[in-house]
Copies of this chain bind each other. A is one copy, B any other.
């Protein structure tokens, strides 16, 4: 098995995976993961692996080493193809993960690593889904878990964290959650916040592996992959996974990665286009509230290399998309619906047309907001 190396691309710091770092201990920048003796996956290796139908750990040959796997059957999620407005749309149903969001891929790997290193307490900051996910895996591993979350989070998500046995600390907003999580860290606690955590991204790359076997030659540099993006973990994970799948000959070329953001905050849009927007903060896309993603540079580089970009969508567009997805049977939350709203924009703008291929990552389950769904569906006309 390959052995992972935690690496800082800014100052050159390197460490074998036998100690947990959430950022570079020398210069404070985000870390990435590379491997000694990494052999990229081939198509037959991937096919054989997934036939076990168990979890992302079927890919353990290409993941960091752990002595304990904390798994709840995350990953290996289905894909559904539909022809919509002449376009081949591939929906990746990553909301069908154990706790109802794609975060489970990252949480499973992170908690497994933390447990393997003998650590006992983790701290996360989250607007909801990552908090649920880290809590769930953390509690299964016997760790103590504390989650800092904005008080505007969905009540049902915070209650679920509590039901699972996590401690919730409510904060003024998403920014304060991040600050307090870091400031409140005691000696024996480890910060696993997905904004920084390199293992989180490494778990998320399995999503690209799956798309590689599910879609094969459909993935080219003309294919669009739309990813709702807040701190960028999913996008960076996909970027990394696709690069490795290309190396192994499973995919021909890097698809166009498109980050989807709400009307505000939209730091990736602003950074990519070097502008400053002045919209009201989204009230619907509760998962897209990160204002200062620490990996902004990495994200912009991945978007540029893939010849992709950023799309922002308004709350009104999100609501319309949410209702449309529900009528297609995809029970997702507003944050996921941003991807479908962006797809419609691309067709409206003539960027996408008949015969084009597009992948929409549906990231979070609507069952977590089941008590709001009917209310949203019944809302008529404009949304403010």
Q: Which chain A residues have a beta carbon within 8 Å of chain B's beta carbons?
A: 47-48, 50-55, 71-74, 76-80, 93, 96-100, 136-137, 139-140, 156, 159-160, 162-165, 210, 213-214, 326-331, 365, 367-368, 370-371, 373-374, 376-377
Known contacts A54-B79, A71-B80; is A160 also within 8 Å of B98 by CB? no
Residues from chain B with Cβ under 8 Å of A73 in the complex: 77-80, 93, 96
CA distance A7 to B195 in the complex (A): 58
* Inter-subunit contact B329/A137 (CB<8 Å): yes
A70 CB, nearest partner CB in chain B, Å: 8
CA distance A77 to B73 in the complex (A): 8
* Inter-subunit contact B79/A78 (CB<8 Å): no
* Inter-subunit contact B72/A330 (CB<8 Å): yes
* Inter-subunit contact B328/A159 (CB<8 Å): no
* Inter-subunit contact A78/B93 (CB<8 Å): no
The 3 A-B residue pairs with the shortest CB-CB distance in the complex, in nearest-first order:
A73-B78, A367-B367, A140-B329
Listed A/B pairs (23) with beta-carbon separation below 8 Å: A47-B48, A50-B51, A51-B213, A53-B79, A54-B78, A54-B79, A55-B80, A72-B93, A73-B77, A73-B78, A73-B80, A93-B98, A136-B329, A140-B327, A140-B328, A140-B329, A156-B371, A163-B374, A163-B376, A164-B329, A165-B326, A365-B367, A367-B370
Q: Among the listed B97, B329, B370, which residue makes an inter-chain contact with A370, where contact means beta carbons less than 8 Å apart?
A: B370
Say how many copies of this protein the assembly contains.
Answer: 2
* Inter-subunit contact A374/B162 (CB<8 Å): yes
A73 CB, nearest partner CB in chain B, Å: 3
A334 CB, nearest partner CB in chain B, Å: 13
CA distance A326 to B159 in the complex (A): 13
CA distance A281 to B295 in the complex (A): 55
CA distance A256 to B303 in the complex (A): 54
* Inter-subunit contact A160/B373 (CB<8 Å): yes
Residues from chain B with Cβ under 8 Å of A376 in the complex: 163
CA distance A328 to B371 in the complex (A): 25
In the complex, which of the residues A164, A329, A376 has the most CB atoms of chain B within 10 Å of its own CB atom? Answer: A329
A208 CB, nearest partner CB in chain B, Å: 13
Q: A74-B78, A163-B373 are in contact. List 4 more A-B contacts (CB 8 A).
A: A73-B80, A136-B331, A163-B326, A370-B370
Q: Which residue of B lies closest to A377 (CB)?
A: B163
* Inter-subunit contact A53/B371 (CB<8 Å): no
Residues from chain B with Cβ under 8 Å of A210 in the complex: 53
Q: Among the listed B50, B98, B327, B365, which residue makes an inter-chain contact with A329, where contact means beta carbons less than 8 Å apart?
A: B98
A266 CB, nearest partner CB in chain B, Å: 29
Q: Which residue of B lies closest to A132 (CB)?
A: B331
CA distance A77 to B99 in the complex (A): 14
CA distance A165 to B48 in the complex (A): 40
Residues from chain B with Cβ under 8 Å of A78 in the complex: 53-55, 72-74, 76, 98
Residues from chain B with Cβ under 8 Å of A93 in the complex: 72-73, 98
